[in-house]
Amino acid sequence: MRIYFLGVAGTAMGNAALLLRDLGHEVIGSDQAVYPPMSEMLLTAGVEVLEGYSVDRLQKLEADLVVIGNAFSRGNEEVEFLLESRSIPFVSLPSVLNQFVLSKRQNIVVTGTHGKTTTTSLTAYLLEQSGANPGYLIGGAPLDPDRGWNNGSADAPFVIEGDEYDSAFFDKRSKFIHYVPHIVILNNLEFDHADIFRDLEDVKRSFDHLIRLIPRSGFLLINEDDSNVLSLLPINWTRVIRVGVSESCELRITKYETNSKGSKFDLEWKNRRWLSVEWAMLGLFNARNAAMACLASALSLLGEDRISNFQAPGIEQFRGVQRRQQIRLETDRLIAIEDFAHHPTAIKEILHSVRARYPNRRLIAAFEPRSNTSRLEIMRVPLCEALSQADTVVIGAAKKSPDKHREIMNTEALASDLNASGIATIANVSNEASLKALIELCEDDSRQQLVVFLTNGSFDGIIGQFVDHWLGGSF
- Region 197-207 average pLDDT: 93
Band (473; pLDDT cuts 50, 70, 90): low
CATH number for the domain running over 2-93: 3.40.50.720
In this structure, of 276-280, 305-309, 431-435, the range with the lowest mean pLDDT score is 431-435
More confident residue, 125 or 39: 125
The chain-wide mean pLDDT, for the chain, equals 92
Homologous superfamily assigned to 104-317: Mur-like, catalytic domain (3.40.1190.10)
Range ranked top by mean pLDDT from 10-14, 203-207, 442-446: 203-207
- Region 449-461 average pLDDT: 90
Does the structure show a pLDDT above 60 at 403? no
The torsion region of residue 183 among left (phi > 0), alpha (psi -120 to 50) and beta comes to beta
Residues of the chain with CATH 3.40.50.720: 2-93
Does the structure show a pLDDT above 80 at 401? no
More confident residue, 335 or 458: 335
Whole-number pLDDT of residue 340: 87
Does the structure show a pLDDT above 80 at 36? no
Residues of the chain with CATH 3.40.1190.10: 104-317
More confident residue, 259 or 249: 249
More confident residue, 454 or 40: 454
Does the structure show a pLDDT above 70 at 402? no
Whole-number pLDDT of residue 370: 83
- Region 250-260 average pLDDT: 94
Whole-number pLDDT of residue 13: 92
- Summarised one tens digit per residue, pLDDT across range 369-391 is 887 777 888 888 999 999 999 99
Whole-number pLDDT of residue 407: 78
Whole-number pLDDT of residue 405: 60
For the chain, what is the HEC assignment?
Answer: CEEEEECCCCHHHHHHHHHHHHCCCEEEEEECCCCCCHHHHHHHCCCEEEECCCHHHHHHHCCCEEEECCCCCCCCHHHHHHHHHCCCCEEEHHHHHHHHHHCCCCEEEEECCCCHHHHHHHHHHHHHHCCCCCEEECCCCECCCCCCEECCCCCCCEEEECCCCEEECCEEEEHHHHCCEEEEEECCCCCCCCCCCCCHHHHHHHHHHHHCCCCCCCEEEEECCCHHHHCCCCCCCCEEEEEECCCCCCEEEEEEEEECCEEEEEEEECCEEEEEEEECCCCHHHHHHHHHHHHHHHHHHHCHHHHHHCCCCCHHHCCCECCCCEEEEECCCEEEEEECCCCHHHHHHHHHHHHHHCCCCEEEEEECCCCCCCCEHHHHHHHHHHHCCCCEEEECCCCCCCCCCCCECCHHHHHHHHHHCCCEEEECCCHHHHHHHHHHHHHCCCCCEEEEEECCCCHHHHHHHHHHHHHCCCC
More confident residue, 9 or 57: 57
Distance CA 326, CA 339 (A): 6
Does the structure show a pLDDT above 60 at 238? yes
In this structure, of 21-25, 53-57, 265-269, 394-398, the range with the lowest mean pLDDT score is 394-398
Fold of 326-471: Protein-Tyrosine Phosphatase; Chain A (3.90.190)
- Region 336-350 average pLDDT: 89
- Region 328-352 average pLDDT: 90
- Summarised one tens digit per residue, pLDDT across range 129-138 is 999 999 999 9
Does the structure show a pLDDT above 90 at 166? yes
- Region 9-20 average pLDDT: 91
Whole-number pLDDT of residue 400: 65
Whole-number pLDDT of residue 46: 84
Contact 461, 432 (CB under 8 A): no
Residues of the chain with CATH 3.90.190.20: 326-471
- Region 42-51 average pLDDT: 87
Whole-number pLDDT of residue 472: 79
Whole-number pLDDT of residue 299: 98
Distance CA 292, CA 312 (A): 12
367, β-bridge pairs? 395, 454
In this structure, of 29-33, 230-234, 243-247, 254-258, the range with the lowest mean pLDDT score is 29-33
